[in-house]
Amino acid sequence: MANELPVKAFGWAASDTSGTLAPFHFSRRENGVDDVTLKILFCGVCHSDLHTLKNDWGFTTYPVVPGHEIVGVVTEVGNNVKNFKVGDKVGVGVIVESCKECENCQQDLENYCPRPVFTYNSPYYDGTRTQGGYSNIVVVHQRYVLRFPENLPLDAGAPLLCAGITVYSPMKYYGMTEPGKHLGVAGLGGLGHVAIKLAKAFGLKVTVISSSPNKQAEAIDRLGADFFLVSSDPAKMKAALGTMDYIIDTISAVHSLIPLLGLLKLNGKLVTVGLPNKPLELPIFPLVAGRKLIGGSNFGGLKETQEMLDFCGKHNITADIELIKMDQINTAMERLSRADVKYRFVIDVASSFSSF
C-alpha cells in the first residue's frame, strides 16, 4: 500500500455509501517528538459519523473509520511532550491538526482554522488520510489532546468532546450564561440534553422546545429542565411568546425559524448548532421588529474544550449514554437514523478489541 505507515491499527470502516461498517486493518504513523499515542477505551457515536458513512455531505473518501469523541489512556509520548505522561486519561475531539500559524490558531480558535485536519475523513499534511476512533489506537499531536477530569466516567464523558463543546462554546461566546436568564433548548437529542445540563449548571432557567409531547417527563424529571413546550401546540406557543432571552437550536432537520424567533424577548438571541442538509429561510421582519440576532457556532478550540471538560468535571456533567460493543455498531447506526437513542451511543472499544 502506498500510504502504509509503521504502526499497525485495527478498527471498523465503511467502504461505500451503504455506510455498513466492517472490521478493517490499517496503519498509523509512529509517535513523533510532539505526539501522544493512546489506547482507545471508548468512542462516542456522533450524528456526523452517520452523515459521513453515507456520504450525505458529498466529501467522504472510502474506506473511512469514523469517531471523534475519543477517550483513552496514554501509552507513549514524544520527547517534547511535557503535559502528558504514560497512563494519563485523555480525550481527542473533532480535530487532530491545524496550521498553528493563522490568526484563529493564534487565538486558540483552531476549530476555525482554514486548514483544519479532522479526526477522520480528512487529508493529513503528510498526504495520508485520518481515521477515527472506532479503532484501537490513535497518534495525535499534543496540542490536540485533552486532559480528562479524574471524576468523570470515561464512557459517559466521551460525548462531551463533540456534543458538549458544540453547545458550551456558543453559550459562552453569545453570553448565554447569566444566572436567572431564560434559555430555550430546541430539540432534545445528543446536543440538546447536554445543553440542558450545562445551562442548569450556569444557573439558567431552561425550557425544552420539542415536537414530541412524550419527551416532557424525560426533559423535566430526568434532565432537570424547568419547563417543556410542545412546538406543535399553537395555544402553548402563543402563551410563550416573548418569554425567552436565548434559544439554542440543536435541530438538524429542516424547520421554520419564525416560531422560535417569536419566543424571544427584545434583544433575544437564537443560535443554531444543528446542520440541516438544506438552507433555512431567514425571516427578516421578526429580527428588525425585536432587534433580535440569529447566530451560528462550530465546536470549540482546544483551550475552550479543556475549559468545558473541567467545568463538567466540577459540576459532574456527563452525557446520557447507551454503551455498545463494536459489533453492534451497524444496528446502532440504523437506530440513530431513527433518533432511537437516549441520547448518545458510546462504543466500548477496549473490550470489543481485547483479542486484537
pLDDT digits (tens, 9 = 90+) for 186-202: 999 999 999 999 999 99
What is the average pLDDT score of the chain? Answer: 95
pLDDT tens, position by position, 290-323: 999 999 999 999 999 999 999 999 999 999 999 9
Cα dihedral 274, 278, 283, 288 in deg (nearest 10): 50
Domain extents in the chain = 5-160+319-351, 162-294
Backbone angles phi, psi at 172, to 5 degrees: -70, -50
On whether the 162-294 domain is CATH 3.60.20.10, my answer is: no
263 falls in which pLDDT band (50, 70, 90)? very high
At 275 the pLDDT is: 85
17 falls in which pLDDT band (50, 70, 90)? very high
What is the average pLDDT across 318-344? 95
Residue with the larger pLDDT of the pair 16 and 1: 16
pLDDT above 70 coverage of the chain, percent? 98
Positive or negative, the Cα torsion across 106, 158, 308, 216? positive
At 316 the pLDDT is: 96
Residue with the larger pLDDT of the pair 4 and 60: 60
1 falls in which pLDDT band (50, 70, 90)? very low
Phi-psi sector, 26: left (phi>0), alpha (psi -120 to 50), beta: beta
323: which 3 cell numbers? 454503551
Phi-psi sector, 87: left (phi>0), alpha (psi -120 to 50), beta: left
276 falls in which pLDDT band (50, 70, 90)? confident
CA nearest to 21, candidates 323, 324, 327: 327
pLDDT tens, position by position, 33-89: 999 999 999 999 999 999 999 998 899 999 999 999 999 999 999 999 999 999 999
Residue with the larger pLDDT of the pair 353 and 324: 324
Is the CB of residue 146 less than 8 Å from the CB of residue 309? yes
User: Which amino acid is present at 353?
Assistant: F
The per-residue DSSP string of 249-272 comes to: E---S---SHHHHHHEEEEEEEEE
- How many angstroms separate the CA atoms of 326 and 348, rounded? 7
At 353 the pLDDT is: 84
5-160+319-351 CATH: 3.90.180.10
pLDDT above 90 coverage of the chain, percent? 92
For residue 122, what are the contacts with CB-CB under 8 A and spacing of at least 6? 116, 129, 130
What's 19-32 look like in SS3?
Answer: CCEEEEEEEECCCC
What is the average pLDDT across 235-260? 96
What is the average pLDDT across 257-261? 96
Q: How many CB atoms lie within 10 A of CB 336?
A: 20
3 falls in which pLDDT band (50, 70, 90)? low
Backbone angles phi, psi at 217, to 5 degrees: -60, -40
257: which 3 cell numbers? 425559524
User: Which amino acid is present at 9?
Assistant: A
Residue with cell 447569566: 178
Phi-psi sector, 60: left (phi>0), alpha (psi -120 to 50), beta: beta
- Model-wide pTM > 0.85: yes
Residue 355 pLDDT exceeds 70: no
pLDDT tens, position by position, 107-166: 999 999 999 999 999 999 888 999 999 999 999 999 999 999 999 999 999 999 999 999
